Chain A
């Protein structure tokens, strides 16, 4: 029984089939076939809810690379079920929506293939128990998201947005991979479940904190947390169904999932609490602050997504306190933060999906989504308007919508932080204040979204198409989502008991299972949270009314050139310029420079080794004495070598070179190597003939007019290399470790029937070398022949270009 593993594979298999069906069946929109996949998976997963609510979990393992502990293990528990239901459920709705949104002229088979790839990858992320497999699916979501953002690849902004999102999410993903490997090194296990059970003994491990921070880096980049949020607004260049699906409901929540999944691993650590909570709170504030200044509806929603994700992230961060302090009556309030986080995660998926679809409808029907050109659409598009109100008010945290419940719980969570004694009380009470201000700003941009788009005067002259209601097919999905928003408000405890409570077991497996659930009530008394909400409404309304007067501060505080976007763009440019500069600075194209690098490397590496190991010492005593005749030849050769450097004509240089060659031949005679002497003499003669043959073709000998400085450098390098080589040659003689093998070859007559040892070695003992040298000669001869015979004649095309 590998049903869950199969559920992950089905979208991938469907992605293979889609292009085939697309070509064969033209009459029916391909989206309807795709629609079957998430719907079937959703129904299949729904059937698990009763079992999961009873505390059952499902584990399936399919062996992949067992020798490396990498297996395709799926683990179906409360946490993964929630995400999987969101992925498949919203996936189905988005598919229906996209059927009506994308015109049939678009390349639909590409679109649905990418979408199915993404769906499968996302299911893989939430179900994987093995961290390496999780990483594989994680990167697959990045890649499929990249493909979807750049779906309209002929637009430059689409390509830029896709590139930016890929760079950021994949960099974070790599960090996460390193973190996973550290985790594996620490615990010796790749299974998240096993890591959770054993992690308590590794809290003091040196890799514990680095692994935590790197995994968080991956989660933060994926979930668009501050300051990695910049890719999300530019990813709005994707088709709106993609924005609704990936960039509000699923992919950006992969980071949330990861943080929730790893809370039992790292949650007991104070660093975890601080990093996750602070980053979440800052993201919450920054996103809501920036959403107000946007004029593009999708950008506004993108920043609001960032803000809401920060809110969920901060709640998960707060909930980790429960793990630190152990389970008691006092810590229940912190576990409830995680409950609130998951609850808001579901709520956010519903209302943000609906809002994106609303924006898509406006864009599709009116041809613009610029807030300055819209207005007065309420009467023309009543259904869209209704959904927009439901979604925005839920996002703003107003009753009777589900956002109200989760926002109240969020306030409870941030207020509970005040009771922690981690640091001074002032700092601790700053968190609820920021959260409250951010909620007020959230209220303001929600009002902007509704009122600026649907109320006010109708500006038909600024629209491409006159305002009218969208077709039913497009409205279906947002209506369903809007309906859910209200249903969840009235029956939150069905969701809480059956879906969220099991997920709490996954986040807090160490704690007692009994009190993790929570009763959600729409009316919880006239307490601080409610007062805060009333404050949000009052101050938010005032801020919205006076928006014109204070909007200027955005350009004052945050001019465009100081934004993270321009930081990203500039640093990308600077890195490119810098690498170009570095490469150009040493890749000069002059052979002389490259020779200098090679020899300097040789001097540093070999000379450094010699100095370091003190191997340069040698003892002149052990060498045999030098006769006068040998001195004579040596001095003659030295004079010839120096004279060659000063030679004025090429002919002189060639002849001086032969002096060196014949000198060596004489040395071979003196040192009793007749074969070598013979060969050296003849080969020197033949090469001299060759030089002279080539001499005829060479241009006039010109002295290099190189600079004095580079000449000095050349001289220093060549003298150093010469000294180094001589030292090595002398030094290796002084410390012989082994007897020579030459005594074996002295038996040449018995073994090979030859009196000439040298030839016996060349032709018999080590004939393999000789054979390959023969091949070298063959290649050299053929090389010269082809170079000269096959050169391009005048007027021929250069051979390289063919």
Chain B
């Protein structure tokens, strides 16, 4: 039974990308404004979930050939590696640092190792939220 969800699908195309953009903004804004890896990851999952709801599982699986389960260990490894990296500089685990760098287009930009840690959080959140919801939704009713 194929329903014609033209309006839903059209708006979804627009909104999903707005959401994804907003998610990335939230992630990067986290250091100085409200936002961060956790809420950014949740927002990304929200956008992808919206795509799933509008287009169905098969089409989205083709559109986004990402295995979300893999994202969980990747995220955790990133967070751990950021923490363990501090050992290289002979400082305690999870010591962060930051600095200001000049880039051609962006001008002076602050870069902090805490952002890398946040990236790990981001990936884990996306991975586990998507894994949870997709496995439950894909399960056959017995």
B45: which A residues are within 8 A, CB to CB? 686
Q: Is the CB of A759 within 8 A of B133?
A: no
Q: Is the CB of B98 within 8 A of A753?
A: yes
Chain B interface: which of A235-243, A297-305, A505-513, A760-768?
A: A760-768
Known contacts being A754-B31, A781-B72, is A693 close to B96, with CB within 8 Å?
A: no
Name which residue of chain B comes closest to A766, CB basis. Answer: B94
Q: Is the CB of B117 within 8 A of A767?
A: yes
A690: which B residues are within 8 A, CB to CB? 132-133, 136
Name which residue of chain A comes closest to B78, CB basis. Answer: A774
CB under 8 Å from chain A, chain B span 43-94: 43, 45-46, 49, 69, 72-73, 75-76, 79-80, 83, 93-94
| Binary flags per residue of B17-33, CB closer than 8 Å to A gives 1, else 0 | 00000000010001111
Q: Is the CB of A762 within 8 A of B36?
A: yes
C-alpha gap A762/B122 in the complex (Å): 13
Q: Is the CB of B128 within 8 A of A778?
A: yes
A57: which B residues are within 8 A, CB to CB? none
| Binary flags per residue of B90-109, CB closer than 8 Å to A gives 1, else 0 | 00011010110000000000
Shortest C-beta distance, A592 to chain B (Å), equals 26
CB under 8 Å from chain B, chain A span 738-758: 752-756, 758
C-alpha gap A686/B38 in the complex (Å): 13
C-alpha gap A767/B80 in the complex (Å): 11
Return the contact of B69 from the options A696, A780, A781 (Cβ within 8 A). Answer: A781
Shortest C-beta distance, A765 to chain B (Å), equals 9
Q: Is the CB of B46 within 8 A of A678?
A: no
C-alpha gap A123/B31 in the complex (Å): 77
Q: Is the CB of A674 within 8 A of B34?
A: yes
Residue A682 CB within 8 A of the other chain: yes
The A interface is mostly helix, strand or loop, or mixed, namely helix
Residue A679 CB within 8 A of the other chain: yes
Chain B interface: which of A361-369, A378-386, A783-791?
A: A783-791
Interface centre among A689, A697, A775 (most CB of B within 10 A): A689
* Total count of chain B residues near the partner, CB < 8 A: 50
C-alpha gap A690/B128 in the complex (Å): 12
Return the contact of B139 from the options A679, A686, A697, A762 (Cβ within 8 A). Answer: A697
Return the contact of A686 from the options B120, B129, B131 (Cβ within 8 A). Answer: B129
Residue A271 CB within 8 A of the other chain: no
Q: Is the CB of B112 within 8 A of A753?
A: yes
C-alpha gap A690/B35 in the complex (Å): 23
Residue B3 CB within 8 A of the other chain: no
B112: which A residues are within 8 A, CB to CB? 752-754, 764
Q: Is the CB of B73 within 8 A of A771?
A: no
B39: which A residues are within 8 A, CB to CB? 675, 678-679, 682
Shortest C-beta distance, A340 to chain B (Å), equals 78
Shortest C-beta distance, B117 to chain A (Å), equals 5
Q: Is the CB of B137 within 8 A of A693?
A: yes
B34: which A residues are within 8 A, CB to CB? 674-675, 678, 756, 758
A682: which B residues are within 8 A, CB to CB? 39, 42-43, 46
Q: Is the CB of B72 within 8 A of A756?
A: no
Known contacts being A675-B39, A694-B136, A789-B135, is A774 close to B76, with CB within 8 Å?
A: yes
Shortest C-beta distance, A462 to chain B (Å), equals 72
Shortest C-beta distance, B92 to chain A (Å), equals 10
Name which residue of chain B comes closest to A673, CB basis. Answer: B34
Residue A534 CB within 8 A of the other chain: no
Residue A777 CB within 8 A of the other chain: yes
Listed by A's residue number, 19 A-B pairs whose Cβ atoms lie within 8 Å are A674-B34, A686-B42, A686-B45, A686-B129, A693-B133, A752-B112, A754-B98, A756-B35, A759-B118, A760-B114, A763-B36, A763-B117, A764-B112, A767-B83, A774-B76, A778-B76, A781-B128, A782-B72, A784-B136
Beyond the given A678-B35, A774-B79, could you list 4 further A-B residue pairs with CB under 8 A, ordered by the A residue number? A678-B26, A756-B32, A771-B83, A778-B73
